Amino acid sequence: GAVVSQHPSRVICKSGTSVKIECRSLDFQATTMFWYRQFPKKSLMLMATSNEGSKATYEQGVEKDKFLINHASLTLSTLTVTSAHPEDSSFYICSAQPRDRGGNTGELFFGEGSRLTVL
Amino acid sequence: GNSVTQMEGPVTLSEEAFLTINCTYTATGYPSLFWYVQYPGEGLQLLLKATKADDKGSNKGFEATYRKETTSFHLEKGSVQVSDSAVYFCALRGPSAMGGGYNKLIFGAGTRLAVHP
């Protein structure tokens, strides 16, 4: 099956520092990846859509300068939380769709998530 | 815009009980509908899907039927097991007003299911 891997799975950082989270599709190519944020006992909130070779599309209310997304290749997207603050503490999840499967009816494959704690 | 509403949890059942988790949606056009499951400590996995009206998705004893007339996609299982304890998310992907590209997967709030022996 299609596997998506996120790294790191857990990260603790000091307020004001930047943290990078990687999302890799291990056995398929993904022209589009999606970044979600999940609050405790809440649903997944879509933050942005990451397109290989072009700028990410951010959802309303998500600060693009705060959450930098880079989709440098067909198997890697990164989310960088810049100048992190305690309110950025959350569970960040990426997902990807194989480029050759399903179109808009296809399923997305999800990473295991990355828990960020900002002290 | 597109949205998904699902019943609040937690849902607590005894093993072998019947399960229903309600899900309704609002969307333009004809979305595809999904149920995802998140087991403790794991990432989301697709449980089942339906891409057009009256389709029934099924997997691992779970079923859901795409009902356009009631805009619903309720999840059911006849006999739950302890291993079914997880959080279940209803989701849709629908036509974008902007057009083009892959459309967003919109999730409901999630329903936590706890099954006891």
As a whole number, mean pLDDT of residues A13-25 equals 96
**Statement: residue B103 has pLDDT above 80:** no
Residue type, A31: T
Give the tens place of pLDDT for each residue, B34-85: 999 999 888 889 999 999 999 999 999 999 999 999 999 999 999 999 999 9
Which among B32, B42, B102 has the least Cβ separation from residue A112? B42
Per-residue model confidence as pLDDT tens digits over A65-87? 999 999 888 999 999 999 999 99
What mean pLDDT is predicted for residues B92-116? Answer: 78
From the list B43, B105, B112, the residue facing A111 with the nearest CB is: B43
Q: Which long-range contacts (CB under 8 A, 24 or more apart) does B95-99 make?
A: B95/A104, B95/B28, B95/B29, B95/B30, B95/B31, B97/B1, B97/B28
Average pLDDT (A22-47) is 88
Answer yes or no: do A93 and B44 touch at CB < 8 A: yes
Answer whether B43 sits within 8 Å of A44, measured CB to CB: no
Contacts (Cβ under 8 Å, ≥6 apart) of A61: none
Put simply, whether A80 touches B (Cβ < 8 Å) is: no
